[in-house]
Amino acid sequence: MKLFGKDVTTKKLLDVVKERLGARGLLPPSEDAGLDEGTEAPVEAFAFAVESMSEHVDATQGLPIETHRDGVAGQAVVLAKQAFRKVGQLFINEALARQMVFNGHVLDGYSQLTAEVVRLRSKVAALEAQLAKVEAPPKPPVLKVPKLTAKAPAPKSTSKPPRAPKRR
């Protein structure tokens, strides 16, 4: 599988993914071999979300400067980006100050909601365990009602009764 040309192979891509997962503590060394066999390392979703959000809460902190260019042209682009960031950092900080405050509130709110979800899940599990212990109430006995047989009325005949002779 080739993604970006001949320099990127699936082995290199998997190595980069493993390295990043290991750096975040999501891939313990003991489970490293299991990834190749198609099994995935267990990840606590809430903890991962809070940690990844807290990494990026500061909007003024720039991402690493990279380029896809090689050689001298690539180095020149990286130097230009670094110079631009240093010159514009004061403006970046001013423009993103309110965003940083908002991001902090969102992270706090998400953390509180996560704690509440974890607490409610444990409470639901305890209630389900308690419910499993309680026996189901016995079903009420079914009363048998004797069938009453009533005589049905005789069906009306559809034929007309005989006529009496007319008198003159």
Given this model, what pLDDT does residue 80 score? 92
**Among 22, 23, 47, 24, CA closest to 35:** 22
User: In whole angstroms, what is the distance from residue 20 CA to residue 30 CA?
Assistant: 16
User: In whole angstroms, what is the distance from residue 153 CA to residue 127 CA?
Assistant: 60
User: In whole angstroms, what is the distance from residue 66 CA to residue 74 CA?
Assistant: 9
**Among 111, 6, 116, 134, CA closest to 50:** 111
User: In whole angstroms, what is the distance from residue 78 CA to residue 92 CA?
Assistant: 19
Residues in CB range of 106: below 8 A, 6 or more apart: 53
Element (H, E) at 51: helix 45-55
Place of tokens 């409470």: 123
At 56-82, the pLDDT tens digits run 777 777 778 888 888 898 899 999 998
**Residue 80 or residue 54, greater confidence:** 80
N- to C-terminal Cα separation, the chain: 117
Question: How many residues comprise the chain?
Answer: 168
CA angle 76, 82, 83 (to 5 degrees): 90
pLDDT band at 123 (very low <50, low <70, confident <90, very high): very high
User: In whole angstroms, what is the distance from residue 109 CA to residue 113 CA?
Assistant: 6
**Residue 1 or residue 7, greater confidence:** 7
**Residue 86 or residue 136, greater confidence:** 86
Mean pLDDT of all residues belonging to the chain = 76
Place of tokens 């071999």: 33
Residue 29 has pLDDT above 70, yes or no: no
